[in-house]
């Protein structure tokens, strides 16, 4: 649909509001939005659980007295942050590879990409020793997929909105 609208635009044909919405929606991709929301969710878990003790300005006590902090290196990452970031990085690598190869174009390619993403998550979860952290991985991936889909769906127009039906042709076919 987007290529047809781009052709219309390059031929200086008048674009409908629906066509303009398709062009605007094409500026973003599901992969970009998925990675954005996945990274935001990882940051949410890191901050809400205070895993890296980054919230030092939100509290009245000093973190310098806690183990794991040095003045030179600052705070070290916790196990939870490392695991969530490694899953996010692996999923980002898969999506970047798919995007570079203009995939998915067909439903079979989309299914293969979904299975590839699922396999990455399963492989990482098999190495995670904490059940709660495994549920955080599931939640982060689910949230990112849900938000990316919701945003793209609200941005892209309905295909049937400007659909024209030729009644004579439809009646004569029966």
The pLDDT value recorded for residue 55 is 57
The pLDDT value recorded for residue 161 is 61
16-61 pLDDT, tens per residue? 776 676 666 666 678 888 999 999 998 888 877 766 565 555 444 4
DSSP strand pairing (74-75 vs 69-70): antiparallel
Residues in the chain: 174
Whole-prediction pTM value? 0.66
* Residues with Cβ within 8 Å of residue 24, at least 6 apart in sequence: 155
84-143 pLDDT, tens per residue? 889 999 999 999 998 888 877 788 888 899 999 999 999 999 988 888 889 999 999 999
- Cα of first residue to Cα of last residue in the chain, in angstroms, is 28
């Amino acid at each position: 649909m987007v290529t047809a609208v781009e052709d219309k635009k390059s031929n200086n044909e008048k674009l409908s509001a629906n066509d303009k919405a398709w062009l605007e929606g094409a500026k973003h991709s599901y992969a970009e939005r998925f990675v954005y929301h996945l990274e935001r969710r990882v940051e949410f878990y890191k901050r809400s659980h205070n895993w890296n003790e980054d919230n030092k300005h939100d509290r009245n006590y000093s973190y310098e007295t806690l183990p794991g902090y040095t003045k030179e290196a600052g705070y070290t990452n916790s196990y939870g942050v490392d695991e969530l970031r490694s899953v996010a990085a692996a999923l980002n690598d898969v999506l970047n590879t798919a995007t570079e190869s203009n995939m998915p174009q067909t439903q079979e390619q989309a299914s293969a990409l979904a299975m590839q993403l699922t396999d990455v998550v399963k492989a990482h979860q098999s190495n995670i020793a904490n059940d709660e952290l495994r549920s955080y991985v599931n939640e982060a991936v689910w949230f990112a997929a849900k938000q990316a889909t919701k945003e793209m769906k609200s941005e892209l127009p309905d295909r049937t909105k400007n659909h024209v039906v030729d009644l004579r042709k439809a009646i004569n076919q029966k």
